[in-house]
A and B are shown apart, each in its own frame.
Chain A
Amino acid sequence: MIGYILTLEQKNAIQGQEFASYQYFNCVISIDDIWFTFFTSEEEILIKNTVYNWVLNCPKGEFIPKPTPPII
């Protein structure tokens, strides 16, 4: 899946922040220890009108999830 690539600072700037009513940023780390986030096209429209619109200018890349240890 293609997502927005974030530096650690950028990730810390948005993680858990609200970008629209009841909608919050969530970042995930890739197999290469790179932070990513993802939006639908509708969410991008919402983000464009916030102070976080700079995220939409972050580079994009293919996200490969880190093989997380099983919860069980």
Chain B
Amino acid sequence: MLNVFGLFKNSVVSYDADALAYFARVTAAGGSLTTAEKNAANTLTLAYKSAGAWTSAVAIYPFLGGSAASMAQNLKSASFTGTFNGGFTYSSLGAAPNGTNGYFNTTIEVWPTLPDTNSFSMATYINTNGATGAYQMGAVGGNGTYNLIGGHVVNSTQGYYINNTTTVTTITDATNINGFLATSRIAAGSYIYYRSATSTTITANSTSVAYLYPIVMGASNSFGGVVGSFDTGRIAFGHLGGGLSDAIMLSIRSAVITFQTSLGRA
């Protein structure tokens, strides 16, 4: 845009304060973000706040910057910086675990971080297909409670989406496991699982909180804190927090898909 002197006017982008703090964390960690990545992260931050999902979120991992240092950073706060364990390939498209020993540790133990049994949500976005026999995200509690996303962990068409319960419901889904994958519980007895274009309510399950073992991505944490069922789906987003209503989670899903599309990662 030209000013009155016919000179190009600098376009000033005003970033959200929390987005700016995230940028600073990335820089302090030795990473860097492109302008496009900053703009996308800023838009995602504003979308979370507009949807009413910011406050209840504990961790939002945008997986930006193309390096382990940058992708480990939590957009929501300076807490719960993640760690990469085992083999990963990092790029502007996300972090791809090797399917043999690679996983991202959020370090978040559902209890005591999110102690309300009836309020829990977790989400991921993978932009290459998840593997058969693998979990995309999750942990098993010492009391047998599950928080798991494993779209084809049982076989090439069946898997689990489980939220704060000991009850296992097998989900048949013949399509490739990719895109937005999430669960959200806001009440006892039911929760909703989401894919990019669909969502389904799962009912008749008891609630309890998974404790002791942190939620990991690209695999699942299991009894004794042994991580297994390693995935190969390239990770481009992660979320952990209190439960989100269906309306709010659908807003977040839309925002995350927009986020990925704006960066050419959908």
**A positions within 8 Å CB-CB of B:** 1, 3, 16, 20-28, 36-40, 42-43, 63, 65, 68, 71-72
Contacts and interface: CB of A to CB of B under 8 A. Distances in A.
A22 B69 contact: yes
B84 A23 contact: yes
A65 B148 contact: no
Residue with the greatest number of chain A CB neighbours at <10 A, chosen from B72, B101, B227: B101
A21 B98 contact: no
A42 B89 contact: yes
B237 to A, nearest CB: 17
Contacts of A16: 85
12 contacts: A22-B29, A22-B81, A23-B83, A24-B83, A25-B85, A26-B86, A26-B102, A38-B101, A40-B87, A42-B89, A43-B88, A68-B228
Contacts of B222: 71
Interface string B207-239: 000000000000010110001110000000000
Contacts of A23: 68, 83-85, 88
Interface size class of B (residues with CB under 8 A): 20 to 34
Contact of A22 (B82, B86, B87, B220): B82
Nearest to A38: B87
B85 A38 contact: no
B88 A40 contact: yes
A71 B72 contact: no
